[in-house]
């Protein structure tokens, strides 16, 4: 009996391979898209972070202090200053998109300081674009604080007669030592790329396999596909995807990670177990989704709109706790949610597979859940086709 079932699974695996080879849409989705997307999307973030974000500067003070401020800002890798004679021109350039904001040093900045008065400088950023504006803000804020500390240092030395060591101790009584763990440069690329590669793997599998199942319905192939039993049908077809996407996962983790210079801090074997568990959960899920469509084209169209919503509710790009409760429940129905939690903790922070036991159990439960609903749905379809 077991031998017979094994033979059927092998037959179904070969049947699926031949089906994919004949169907150019499946061929494109399953064999070309994952690799192309991985290189294509990956390359966007190859520089990991933005540099030389353009900021307009208007200096009405023309003093040593204003030059020092500009020099420091310009020397930071994040910001590049463009000089303008007045605020109107600077603003106009921001409107045109040439720069992402303007920095204004009013007249009297240095003289105010010399007479022990606070100096006010102005930074206006175009917060319609989040990343450049927050990077500029952080950078300029840090520079103003540093130069402010320098001003205090000189005051303590000159007016209070402190030695440079004592003065230094008084300049910043409380320092903030910032340690961003597992992405030391806090770069956007290092944050997004691991998740993006996992998403490419997931979406191409979901689209390809659901299309294949929809194709079975469209071409009246359900009866033939499921003739050796529902479970044999699910795993016979699924085995092809398990092999293919395990190979992609291995390829991404070795080739793409190395090309994009991404660290893999965790244990490779544990990560492999996780990836296999993820793929085997996606397989019945994709088959269930595909079974809802009678047309391969409609399945492709609908699945095309699933990528962004799935990514946005997994808690990767936006904290899970900040999602509305209903969305959190929906998110918990996706294998991506527990997977991405374990995956990013293994890959990015070097945790063990067992560090997130709740998420691991969650993923296993989803495997059972999708296997069950795929089984029930395909049983109904088989009955109908008989």
- Which 337-376 residues touch other proteins, going by CB under 8 A? 341, 344-345, 348-351, 355-356, 359
Site membership for other proteins, residue 324 (CB under 8 A): yes
154-213 binders of other proteins (CB under 8 A) = 155, 160, 166, 168-184, 186, 188-192
Pair of tokens at residue 318: 């936006």
Per-residue interface string for the shown chain with other proteins, residues 26-65, x marking contact by CB under 8 A: --xx---x--xx--xx-xxxxx-xxxxx------------
Pair of tokens at residue 47: 């520089």
Q: Which stretch binds other proteins (CB under 8 A): 237-245, 250-258, 318-326, 368-376?
A: 318-326
In 3-state terms, what secondary structure has residue 58?
A: strand
Instruction: Name which of 226 and 351 has its Cβ closer to other proteins.
Output: 351
- Residue 276 Cβ, how far from other proteins at the closest point, in Å? 21
Angle formed by the axes of helices 64-75 and 130-158, nearest 10°: 140
Q: Position of tokens 């010399």?
A: 114
- How many whole angstroms separate alpha carbon 279 and alpha carbon 238? 9
Site membership for other proteins, residue 130 (CB under 8 A): yes
- How many whole angstroms separate alpha carbon 155 and alpha carbon 27? 72
Q: Are 260 and 45 in contact (CB under 8 A)?
A: yes
Q: Are 230 and 216 in contact (CB under 8 A)?
A: no
Site membership for other proteins, residue 131 (CB under 8 A): yes
Q: Which stretch binds other proteins (CB under 8 A): 223-231, 234-242, 284-292, 310-318?
A: 310-318
60-89 binders of other proteins (CB under 8 A) = 69
Total residues contacting other proteins (rule CB under 8 A)? 115
- Residue 318 Cβ, how far from other proteins at the closest point, in Å? 6
Instruction: Name which of 235 and 278 has its Cβ closer to other proteins.
Output: 278
CB atoms within 10 A of CB 368: 11
Residues 6+ apart with CB under 8 A from 6: none
């Amino acid at each position: 009996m077991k031998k017979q079932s094994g033979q059927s699974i092998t037959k179904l695996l070969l049947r699926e391979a031949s089906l994919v080879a004949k169907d150019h849409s499946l061929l494109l989705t399953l064999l070309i898209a994952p690799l192309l997307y991985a290189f294509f999307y990956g390359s966007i973030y190859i520089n990991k972070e933005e540099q030389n974000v353009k900021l307009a500067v208007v200096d009405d003070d023309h003093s040593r202090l204003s030059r020092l401020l500009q020099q420091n800002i310009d020397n930071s890798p994040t910001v590049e200053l463009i000089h303008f004679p007045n605020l109107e021109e600077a603003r106009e350039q921001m409107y045109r998109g040439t720069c992402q904001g303007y920095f204004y040093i009013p007249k009297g900045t240095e003289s105010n300081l010399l007479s022990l008065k606070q100096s006010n400088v102005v930074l206006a950023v175009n917060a319609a674009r989040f990343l450049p504006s927050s990077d500029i803000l952080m950078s300029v804020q840090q520079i103003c604080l540093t130069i402010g500390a320098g001003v205090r240092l000189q005051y303590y030395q000159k007016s209070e007669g402190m030695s440079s060591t004592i003065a230094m101790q008084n300049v910043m009584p409380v320092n903030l030592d910032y340690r961003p763990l597992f992405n030391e440069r806090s770069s956007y690329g290092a944050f997004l790329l691991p998740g993006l590669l996992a998403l490419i793997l997931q979406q191409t599998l979901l689209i390809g396999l659901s299309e294949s199942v929809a194709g079975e319905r469209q071409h009246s192939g359900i009866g033939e596909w499921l003739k050796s039993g529902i479970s044999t049908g699910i795993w016979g077809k699924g085995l092809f995807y398990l092999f293919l996407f395990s190979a992609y996962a291995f390829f991404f983790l070795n080739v793409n990670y190395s090309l994009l210079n991404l660290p893999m801090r965790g244990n490779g074997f544990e990560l492999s177990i996780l990836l296999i568990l993820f793929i085997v959960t996606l397989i019945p899920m994709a088959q269930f989704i595909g079974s809802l469509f009678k047309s391969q084209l409609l399945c492709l169209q609908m699945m095309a709109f699933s990528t962004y919503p799935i990514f946005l509710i997994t808690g990767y790009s936006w904290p899970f706790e900040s999602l509305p409760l209903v969305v959190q429940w929906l998110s918990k129905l996706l294998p991506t949610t527990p997977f991405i939690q374990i995956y990013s903790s293994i890959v990015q922070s070097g945790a063990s597979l067992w560090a997130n036991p709740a998420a691991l159990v969650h993923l296993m439960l989803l495997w059972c859940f999708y296997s069950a609903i795929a089984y029930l749905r395909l049983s109904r379809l088989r009955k109908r086709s008989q």
